């Protein structure tokens, strides 16, 4: 690991100013990133620093802010999650398990017990891709790590790569699970930046790779996520997260679906929410599929045609075409199962 300057931030305002100061002293991005990074759980950042994929000149340790920014508040209007809450704290919260099952399940099915005890949910949504060509610096071509260098995955071994949201410059998959739950439930992100606090729809947080895959979010230098707010809605209890992977546990998704349904007494769908993981470059909302379900009875046939719509724009590469069929089956099964939940 390369040397870095280590600072502890006592308040969130200090943290954002420290990042700004860190950038001012060294403006040249390294490996496509700004030279100062926040350190919370560190489970992704330290791993990538050991691999020399990330080379921050400065780390601002914000674990000292945990007490101020880790509250989990459930009200009739919304679920508010402090961004420094640990994944395990959210996953094991009884009211979240009961009233926002897709949130709890997306976290329980992610990583390992130790990692969930360490990782903050704010850092979790920002975790970086598992693309081998990104993680292994002996490959020179990676536009995400080394902008302008090309993409070794396009014609490389791309079984794990994205079929949705890819560009000619990057097909790396967004690896997380929790983000899909936030997408499906219309979460809002509270961001503290050098110029104050603002809120951003979660669906606007991540950026599709386009021609700048190194820029992964709409966050600006010095911005720190302080909370997620999930509005209470008629579909939140009839929700679940389905994750399909090569191993039963402790593995990233090949395909996953966060679904939430509002079904009326007659069995017709009033509202549907579907977000896809493991198959796209960013947390992916399948709005066409959602719209197709409204007013229909949810059965295996309607679920399957919605699932087909969800992958309408899919563009497979040599080794990942199976993700289209697998993803469609994942969405179908998730929807059918959600429809049978007793809420």
Instruction: Answer yes or no whether residue 200 interacts with other proteins by CB under 8 A.
Output: no
Instruction: Answer yes or no whether residue 11 interacts with other proteins by CB under 8 A.
Output: no
Smallest gap from Cβ 248 to other proteins, in A, equals 8
Site for other proteins in 118-147 (CB under 8 A): 118
Cα–Cα distance measured from residue 57 to residue 10, given in angstroms and rounded to the nearest whole number: 20
Instruction: Answer yes or no whether residue 12 interacts with other proteins by CB under 8 A.
Output: no
Cα 198-122-251 angle, rounded to 5 deg: 145
H or E, element range at 201:
strand 196-201
Terminus-to-terminus CA distance in the chain, angstroms?
Answer: 50
Cα–Cα distance measured from residue 310 to residue 202, given in angstroms and rounded to the nearest whole number: 19
Instruction: Pick from 17, 20, 29, 61 the residue near other proteins by CB under 8 A.
Output: 61
Specify the residue, 57 or 292, whose C-beta has the smaller distance to other proteins.
57
Instruction: Pick from 11, 67, 112, 140 the residue near other proteins by CB under 8 A.
Output: 112
Smallest gap from Cβ 18 to other proteins, in A, equals 10
Q: Which stretch binds other proteins (CB under 8 A): 35-43, 144-152, 209-217, 317-325?
A: 35-43
- Could you give the count of Cα atoms lying within 13 Å of 41 in the half-sphere of its Cβ? 23
Q: Which stretch binds other proteins (CB under 8 A): 38-46, 77-85, 222-230, 259-267?
A: 38-46
Instruction: Answer yes or no whether residue 340 interacts with other proteins by CB under 8 A.
Output: no
Q: Distances in Å between the alpha carbon of 221 and those of 48, 58, 64, 147, 218?
A: 19, 13, 20, 18, 10
Smallest gap from Cβ 25 to other proteins, in A, equals 8
Sorted by sequence, the CB contacts under 8 Å of residue 78 that are 6+ apart come out as 229, 230, 231, 232
Residues that bind other proteins (CB under 8 A): 1, 3-8, 39, 42-43, 46-47, 50-51, 57-59, 61, 63, 88, 92, 111-115, 117-118, 249-250
């Amino acid at each position: 690991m390369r040397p870095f300057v280590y600072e502890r931030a006592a308040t969130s305002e200090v943290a954002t100013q420290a990042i700004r100061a860190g950038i001012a002293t060294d403006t040249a991005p390294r490996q496509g990133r700004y030279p100062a990074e926040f350190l919370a759980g560190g489970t992704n950042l330290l791993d990538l620093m050991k691999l020399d994929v990330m080379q921050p000149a400065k780390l601002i340790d914000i674990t000292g802010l945990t007490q101020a920014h880790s509250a989990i508040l459930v009200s009739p209007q919304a679920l508010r999650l402090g961004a420094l809450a640990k994944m395990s704290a959210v996953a094991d919260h009884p009211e979240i398990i009961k009233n926002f099952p897709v949130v709890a399940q997306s976290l329980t099915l992610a990583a390992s017990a130790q990692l969930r005890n360490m990782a903050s949910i704010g850092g979790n949504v920002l975790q970086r891709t598992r693309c081998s060509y990104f993680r292994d610096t002996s490959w020179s071509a990676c536009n995400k790590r080394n902008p302008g260098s090309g993409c070794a995955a396009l014609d490389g071994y791309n079984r794990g790569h994205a079929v949705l949201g890819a560009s000619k410059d990057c097909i790396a998959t967004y690896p997380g699970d929790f983000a899909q739950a936030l997408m499906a439930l219309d979460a809002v992100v509270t961001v503290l930046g050098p110029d104050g606090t603002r809120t951003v729809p979660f669906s606007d947080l991540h950026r599709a790779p386009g021609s700048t895959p190194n820029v992964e979010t709409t966050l600006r230098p010095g911005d720190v996520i302080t909370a997620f707010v999930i509005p209470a809605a008629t579909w939140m209890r009839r929700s679940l997260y389905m994750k399909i992977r090569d191993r039963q546990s402790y593995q990233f998704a090949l395909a996953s679906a966060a679904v939430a349904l509002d079904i009326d007494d007659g069995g017709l769908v009033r509202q549907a929410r579907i977000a896809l993981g493991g198959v796209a470059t960013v947390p992916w909302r399948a709005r066409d599929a959602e719209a197709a379900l409204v007013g229909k009875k949810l059965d295996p046939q309607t679920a399957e045609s919605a699932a087909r719509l969800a992958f309408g724009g899919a563009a497979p590469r040599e080794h990942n075409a199976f993700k289209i069929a697998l993803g469609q089956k994942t969405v179908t099964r998730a929807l059918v199962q959600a429809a049978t939940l007793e809420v």
